[in-house]
Homo-oligomer: A and B are copies of this chain.
Amino acid sequence: MMNSSSPIAFNPQAAANTVVLHGQATRRIAEQRAQLNASQQIADALALVSDSLAPQRLMVRAGDVICQAGARFDCLYLLNSGFVKIISLSSDGREQVVGLKFRGDWLGFDGIANQRYSCDAVAMDTGEIWAIRYDTLLEASLRRPALLGLLHQAMSREISNDRDSLMSVCTLPADARVADFLRYWADALAKRGLRTDQIKLRMTRAEIGNYLGMTLETVSRGLSRLAKAGLIEFAEGGRRDILIPEVDALRAFIQGGTAPAPALLQ
């Protein structure tokens, strides 16, 4: 059952000949190319930073706090492996998961404006994080424009990402939001060259619910309904491992809102 056969080692020509099938097939090829591309870009970016900045490498384990809201800003962090959640704290004590970070993502941009981090960043798994002094980075980027380009792209992506989150929360009903969360996670893995048919959630239902703006019970019910609809399956291991037989089916469900099956046909 470990055939990650989302057509991995795939022959483009074989597909090129089957032009009859439009839509699904050709789309999947384009997607894979884009993902390989993205994966390569992330590797290149990491290599460039590693070479030109010799960042300090930190090993973290689940629960470790990488940077803390209120602490003085001096470093940006680059995630080389592992998973990190970003938690924003309001003045009146509300707590909100505002982002999830994967390999190649940067942490700490929020600290630049006020010289203090405004969020906590907490590891959700063991991983390696590179600490890069901001002043060092600025200095180096004057000599190496590519570094500066990298930095700006990362910040730009973060802005776009945050907006997507807002759109998801504002426009989708609860079940679709849960589906979109799984799709987002699967996409993030795919962009990093990892298998996406099975994903291991590193968050409790409560944390997912917080991130999605709903209660833990609603998350649980949402997952149950998605499973009942055949859009996901739970691995035998435990309910934190989720199988996604067909990410496109999830996408269709998110768009269709209430029409899981019919949407598959068009």
Partner of A112, one of B96, B110, B156: B156
What residue of chain B has the Cβ atom nearest to residue A99's Cβ?
Answer: B163
Smallest beta-carbon distance A173→chain B, Å = 11
Contact B110 A255 (CB under 8 A): no
Partner of A162, one of B112, B142, B148, B162: B162
Contact B92 A255 (CB under 8 A): yes
A250 to B98 CA separation, bound complex (whole angstroms): 24
Check: A157 CB closer than 8 A to any chain B CB. Answer: yes
Q: How many residues of A contact B (CB 8 A)?
A: 42
- Pick out which of these stretches binds chain B: A12-20, A164-172, A223-231: A164-172
Contact A98 B163 (CB under 8 A): yes
Check: A104 CB closer than 8 A to any chain B CB. Answer: no
Q: Which residues on B sit within 8 Å (CB–CB) of A122?
A: none
Check: A222 CB closer than 8 A to any chain B CB. Answer: no
Q: Which residues on B sit within 8 Å (CB–CB) of A142?
A: 142, 145
Check: A109 CB closer than 8 A to any chain B CB. Answer: yes
Contact A163 B88 (CB under 8 A): yes
Contact A88 B167 (CB under 8 A): yes
Residues of A within 8 A of B (CB): 86, 88, 90, 92, 94, 96, 98-99, 109-113, 118-119, 138, 142, 145, 148, 152-153, 155-160, 162-167, 169-171, 210-213, 254-255
Complex A-B: 7 CB contacts under 8 Å: A94-B167, A96-B171, A98-B163, A112-B155, A113-B156, A118-B163, A159-B162
